[in-house]
Each structure stands twice: as C-alpha cells, then as structure tokens.
Amino acid sequence: MCGIVGYTGKKQAAPILLEGLSKLEYRGYDSAGVAVRNNKGKHEIVKTNGKLSVLSDKLKKGKALKGTCGIGHTRWATHGMPSEVNAHPHSNDDQTIVAVHNGIIENYVELKEKLTSKGYTFYSETDTEIATKLVDYYYKKWKSPLEAMVSFTLRVRGSYAIAVMFEDYPEEIYIARKDSPLIVGVADEGSFVASDVPAILKYTRNVYYVDNMEIARIEKGKATFYNVDRKVIEKQPVKIDWDADAAEKGGYKYYMLKEIREQPRAVTDTLNSLIKDGKIDLSEAGLSDEKLSSFKRIRIAACGSAYHVGMVAKYVIEDLARIPVDVDVASEFRYRSPVYGENELVVVISQSGETADSLEALRGAKAAGVATLAIVNVLGSAIAREADNVIYTKAGPEISVATTKAYSAQLIVSYALAVQLALINGKIDEDRYAQLIDEMLALPASMEKILSDDEWLKWFASKIANKKDVYFIGRGIDYAICLEGSLKLKEISYIHSDAYAAGELKHGHISLIEEGTLVIGLITQMRLAEKAVSNLSEVKTRGAQIMSVTLEGNYSLQEHSEFTFYVPKTEAYFTTSLAVIPLQLLSYYVCVAKGLDVDMPRNLAKCVSVE
Ligand code: GLU
C-alpha cells in the first residue's frame, strides 16, 4: 500500500512528482523516493527515510533533479523495514531499469532463488527489488519493454501496481497492475501515472483506469494499453467530477477537521444520488425492487470503520426490514467457509474499494455464486469493478487516515437499503416510508447544528488528553456507535480505548474501572435508556468519570454525567449519523491537544491494500 506517481512531458518532472506524492501520502508515509531521467538519458534516484517532507527538502522542492521524465513513490513497508535502502525506486545492477511498486509479490522467495541462480544479487529486503530484477531479466531476454512487462505479469503472484523506466526508451514509462490501483492521465503538459486521482487532478479530469493484468506504455501526450496477449486495448477515459479543491486542505490545519466539517455535504450528495422524487431508487446500482425483494439474508463483510457501519446496518435492516443480517470482519470472513443459502446478498463496504481483505471476501462470495453489492467511495476501484452491484458513496476524496465523511456516507447508503427493503417486503407502509425519508433528508441540517457547537468538546478534550484508558458503552445501535467512537480515539490519539455492549460490563470488563477511568456512555436509543443509565451508574459508583452523548430533551443523565453532549432528535434508526460527530470531534481535539499528527497516525495507512 503506497502511492505511485509517474510523469513524462514538457515540464520538469521532480516538482510534479513531489506534488503528486503529497496528494497520495495518505497511502503510506514511512519513506519516499523519486527517479528522474536526466538529459544524458541516465536516471538519478533520490530517496529518504521518513515522510515526504524529508525528501522534498533533500530535493530542494524538486529543483535539485533535472529531467522531464520520472517516477516517484511514498512507501508503507511490507517487506523490509522503512529505511533509505528499502525505499523505492529500485533499480537493476547496471542502473538501466528503475521501478516503483505498490503491493506484495507473493512468490518473491521463489523468484529471488531463480534470479540468484542466474547471477543476480540483492541490496535491499524488498519484494520490489526482486520485481525490478525480474523485469530486467525478461528485458535482457526479449529486448522489448512490452515483452518484459508481459512476462513479468504472467510470472508474478500477488498484488502490484508497477511503473518502470527503461534507459533504452527515454521519455517513456511502462506500467502494469493487478489488484493495486493505477490510473493514467493524458494532458497537454504531458502524461501522468498515479495510484489515485487527487495526484493528477490539477492537470486533467480525464482518467484511464488500468485494469488487472493490463500493461500500458506512457509517452508524452499519449498512452497505449495492452493486454497480456500484447493486443492494444481501446480505453475510454472516465470524467472525474470532483472539485479540485475537495482534495486540498482548504484552509484547515488538518484534513480530518475539514472532512468532519464536510459531512453534511457528503451526506447530502449521497442522499441526492439515492433519493429521486421522494423515493429511494437503487436501480443505478442494478438493484430494482424486484431484485431487492429476492434477498432473504444479508451478510456484510468489511474492515475497521466500514465494519462498524455494517454493525449499524445489521440493527437497522433487521429491525426495519426483518431480514437476517450477519456482519463479519472481512479478514475473518474470507478465511471462513460460510454456509450460504438461497437468495443471499453479500455486501462489501470499503471507502477506497481497494481494501485487500474486503476484496477477497467479495471474490469468495462471487466464487460461491452469491449475489454481491459493493458500497464504495472510489470510482473504478477493484471492489467496485468486481461486484455485481455497486452503490457509490458521494463523500469525495477522503485524505485523512481516520475516516469520517466516508463513514457517514456509508451509513446513509445502509439506511437507504434498509428503508427500501422494509417497504418492498411490506414491513412499513407508504406513510412510514415517506416519514423515514424525510428524517434522512433532515440529517445534514442536524449535523450542521452539531458542528457549530464544538467549543465544549474542545474544552473537554483538553481535560481528558492525558487519560490512559477510555471505555465507550452503549446498547443496541449505541453499541455500534461506541465501536466507531473508540476506534477513532485510539487510532489518532494513541489512548487505549475499548467499546463494550453496556450489558456485558458486569461479565468481566467492569473490573477495569478504577478511580478516574473515563467512561463515555452513548444513550440515543431511548427504549434502552433506562438500562444504559443503570450501567453508567454502576461504573460511576466504582469511581469512573462519565461523559455521555444523548438526544436533546433527555436530561436524566445530568446527575450521572460530568459532561453531556446533546445531539438533535431524529429517528432512532439514524442517530449514529449525529452521535458519531461529537466522538469524531473529541478524538480530533484530543489528538491536537497532544500535539500528534492528526492525518497520519503512526503505523497506519489510508488504503489497506495488503492482508
Ligand atoms: N512490498 C513493497 C515494499 O515493502 C511495496 C509496499 C507498498 O505498497 O508500499 O516495499
């Protein structure tokens, strides 16, 4: 999982590569490097350990390297520690071939043995160096970059997006991909290769998506695509309608705050794409009412926050539509052997659409002949391409590693699915249907209200920034909200936190409560409120400090809670969309108070395209 950028054109390559990489740093940021071909046709490699800013300084913002063709990489190490020597680009022994790679070459051990027997030696611990030398081996054998890339594609197993420069072909970049994203843009200034759209949005909105097992030759102002039979493939560019500013920080210090504040817009855009003339219409995703009515069971597979959306969806779909729903973390689902019945639907949720475990869960379901639906944010991503049906969330580019707006947009899709299933299965009448849709449409305004009232959260965050342990407790949907609140806090502030179903506390977890332990209680499900309040009271009597999040009008918590945040009332099914916002903001402000890097928390990357 990393970011790749390539450029060949009229301009100096290094500044363009650095700028493109800065838009991809969310994909990995433990080391970075570029290779630029100078006017003598030789490539020069500069790489550094650490974040991209270190590389940028070393390159004097790109001025230190001259040349109009180059490739760059920001790494998230899988094979070999983050270090300068392991950073990409990697080259062959005679420095005539240089490559950057995203993904994992699974048969790298076998390939290394083979190449070693042919006299190759290795300077790094990466699978990428092996990949580069494999390309070198085939190039020396076939004397053709296309043949070398085809042979490479047929020989390696695993996932890769690879960009290669051959000294004999100045001003050209060759690329290939399988299961890791790669796009191409052709503009007046030149041609671009990148892992994701924001890297090239400044230059072009017309993007070619490279498919699995495809190869492309990138020249100035031209891109030619091939399949492994060496046949030219005619491709149409996809027009990207994202606002260029949407991929920038827009005045905020961190993307995360910008993205938290963009949630009403992300939700509105997603609602607009799902609701037509007052009715939910999923036909664009290939889900006619007739088709939807055929599903008798739903299984959701997802990772991280998307899994938490699945948890909310389970509560809402089961209660509203009376269809059984199972939710699994995708990394478990893919290695189980689920017993599928008739008329099942497997739903995979992923912001990037490249999440490796979710992709494999999808493939497993497809191989078993089960209908699949993807809920993804990134157009043309692997999961979107492979699923039978796709609903796109309209969150726009999400850069901060900790998801906020994509999570909120995914929630909306799950509500729409639940409400539509409820109607077509005869569980609700038209009036209730219209009422639920109205409540969904009212969510963005309520979100705005919460966002305009965050001073208290800032204050409370500064008080709790030194906590060692925080527990989130809730019942029903509130438990699902707790899971997300807890993940948000731990991933960016490094405070240990956990979420518990409030009724489970007394079965063990309550022993963790001591004087001053912070317990955050979520109480938006009023039918369970009394029970949840009792659980808060149990931890308070054991010394816990209590914060709670509840609905406006529920003032019964005041005597238990040191700090209560009220969110506007809405339909019980949809409270997650509101109650999660104070938890996101709290995590954000705790992280800022601790002086940590909000957008790039340690050890994490945005798009988890490795197992
Ligand atoms: N497997 C390669 C490495 O460890 C690439 C990892 C990545 O996608 O960043 O260098």
Considering the domain architecture, whether residues 272 and 316 belong to the same structural domain is answered as yes
Residue-number span of the structural domain to which 164 is assigned: 3-240
* Structural domain count of the chain: 3
Considering the domain architecture, whether residues 164 and 40 belong to the same structural domain is answered as yes
Structure-token pair, residue 216: 């492309």
Chain segment 581-607, per-residue pLDDT in tens: 999 999 999 999 999 999 888 888 777
Which residue, of 240, 270, 303, is where some domain finishes? 240
Nearest of 139, 109, 110, 136 to residue 125 by alpha carbon: 109
pLDDT at residue 537 greater than cutoff 60: yes
Q: How far apart are CA 340 and CA 459, in angstroms?
A: 50
Any atom of ligand 1 within 6 Å of the Cβ of 104:
yes
Please tell me whether the peptide bond between 601 and the residue prior to it is cis, using omega within 30 degrees of 0. Answer: no
Considering the domain architecture, whether residues 281 and 320 belong to the same structural domain is answered as yes
CB atoms within 10 A of CB 608: 21
CATH of residue 315's domain is: 3.40.50.10490
Chain segment 426-471, per-residue pLDDT in tens: 999 999 999 999 999 999 999 999 999 889 899 999 999 999 999 9
Q: How far apart are CA 347 and CA 330, in angstroms?
A: 11
Confidence band (pLDDT; 50, 70, 90) for 230? Answer: very high
Considering the domain architecture, whether residues 232 and 258 belong to the same structural domain is answered as no
Considering the domain architecture, whether residues 549 and 469 belong to the same structural domain is answered as yes
| 561 domain residue, yes or no | yes
Considering the domain architecture, whether residues 203 and 295 belong to the same structural domain is answered as no
| 573 domain residue, yes or no | yes
Which residue, of 187, 207, 240, is where some domain finishes? 240
Any atom of ligand 1 within 6 Å of the Cβ of 607:
no
Structure-token pair, residue 104: 């994992």
Q: What is the pLDDT of residue 1?
A: 56
pLDDT at residue 242 greater than cutoff 90: no
Confidence band (pLDDT; 50, 70, 90) for 245? Answer: low
Q: How far apart are CA 126 and CA 156, in angstroms?
A: 15
Query: Is there a contact between 11 and 190 (Cβ–Cβ < 8 Å)?
Result: yes
Any atom of ligand 1 within 6 Å of the Cβ of 394:
no
Chain segment 561-585, per-residue pLDDT in tens: 999 999 999 999 999 999 999 999 9
Amino acid residing at 548 = S
Considering the domain architecture, whether residues 438 and 477 belong to the same structural domain is answered as no
| 378 domain residue, yes or no | yes
Closest ligand 1 atom, CA of 101?
5
Considering the domain architecture, whether residues 273 and 170 belong to the same structural domain is answered as no
Q: Which of 1, 49, 73, 78 to mutate to test the pocket of ligand 1 (most atoms within 8 A of CB)?
A: 78
Name the catalytic one among 2, 482, 591, 607.
Answer: 2
Considering the domain architecture, whether residues 139 and 170 belong to the same structural domain is answered as yes
| 606 domain residue, yes or no | no
pLDDT at residue 488 greater than cutoff 70: yes
CATH of residue 113's domain is: 3.60.20.10
Any atom of ligand 1 within 6 Å of the Cβ of 77:
yes
Please provide the DSSP assignment of 452-482 as one string.
TT-HHHHHHHHHHTT-SEEEEEESTHHHHHH
SS3 198: helix
Query: 2 an active-site residue?
Result: yes
pLDDT, average across residues 178-200: 92
pLDDT, average across residues 159-185: 94
Which residue, of 451, 466, 498, is where some domain finishes? 451
Residues in the chain: 611
| 605 domain residue, yes or no | no
Considering the domain architecture, whether residues 464 and 446 belong to the same structural domain is answered as no
| 598 domain residue, yes or no | no
Q: Which of 25, 27, 102, 160 to mutate to test the pocket of ligand 1 (most atoms within 8 A of CB)?
A: 102
Query: 61 an active-site residue?
Result: no
Structure-token pair, residue 313: 């969806």
pLDDT mean across residues, the chain: 93
Residue 393: HSE in the Cβ half-sphere, 13 Å Cα cutoff? 33
Bigger pLDDT: 394 vs 609: 394
Chain segment 59-99, per-residue pLDDT in tens: 999 999 999 999 999 998 888 888 999 999 999 999 999 99
Any atom of ligand 1 within 6 Å of the Cβ of 31:
no
